[in-house]
Amino acid sequence: MIHCSGKASGDEGEKMTVAEIVRQYEAQLGRDSPSSVRSFHAVGLALAEAFGDRDHLDVAPTEIKALLSRVGATWSKRTQYMWLCWARAAWYFPERWLGAPMEPRNPFRANGLKHSIARPRRKARAYVPPQKIDLLIGAARTTRARLLLRVLQQSAIRVSELVGIEARDVQDAVAGAEDGRRLVLRRPKSGQEEEAVALPRALGLALRAYIRTQRLSPGDRVFPVTTEAVRALVRSCGRRVGLTLTPHDLRRAWASAKDRAGVPIGLIQATLRHESQETTKSYIAPAGFAELLEIMEGETSEQQGEEEGGNQE
pLDDT, one tens digit per residue, over 218-227 is: 999 999 999 8
Residue 186: phi and psi, rounded to 5, are -95, 135
In a domain, 122, yes or no: no
What's the average model confidence in pLDDT over 267-284?
Answer: 92
Answer whether residue 302 is part of any domain.
Answer: no
Q: Decide if pLDDT at 60 tops 90.
A: yes
pLDDT tens digits, 140-194: 999 999 999 999 999 999 998 999 999 999 976 655 555 668 899 987 777 677 8
pLDDT(61) > 60: yes
**Beta-bridge partner residues of 55:** 17
Q: How many structural domains does the chain have? A: 2
Is 139's pLDDT higher than 90? yes
For residue 300, what pLDDT is reported? 53
Comparing 16-25, 125-134, 235-244, 286-295, which segment has the lowest mean pLDDT? 286-295
The whole-number pLDDT of residue 58 equals 95
Pair 170, 66 in one domain = no
Q: Which of 114, 142, 175 is the last residue of a domain?
A: 114
Summary mean pLDDT of the chain: 86
Interior CA angle at 66 toward 108 and 71, to 5°? 110
Domain co-membership, 28 together with 82: yes
Average pLDDT rounded to a whole number, residues 93-105: 89
Structural domain boundaries enclosing 83: 8-114
pTM as predicted: 0.67
Q: In terms of C-beta density within 10 A (0-12 exposed, 13-18 middle, 19 or more buried), how is residue 204 classed?
A: buried
In sequence order, what are the residues at sequence separation of 6 or more whose Cβ sits closer than 8 angstroms to the Cβ of residue 112? 61, 65
Residues 6 or more apart whose CB falls under 8 angstroms from that of 143 comprise 210
Q: What is the CATH number of the domain that holds 95?
A: 1.10.150
Report residue 52 CA to chain centroid gap: 30
53 found inside a domain? yes
Judge if 102 and 157 occupy the same domain: no
Q: Which of 62, 84, 114 is the last residue of a domain?
A: 114
Q: 195 - beta bridge partners?
A: 185
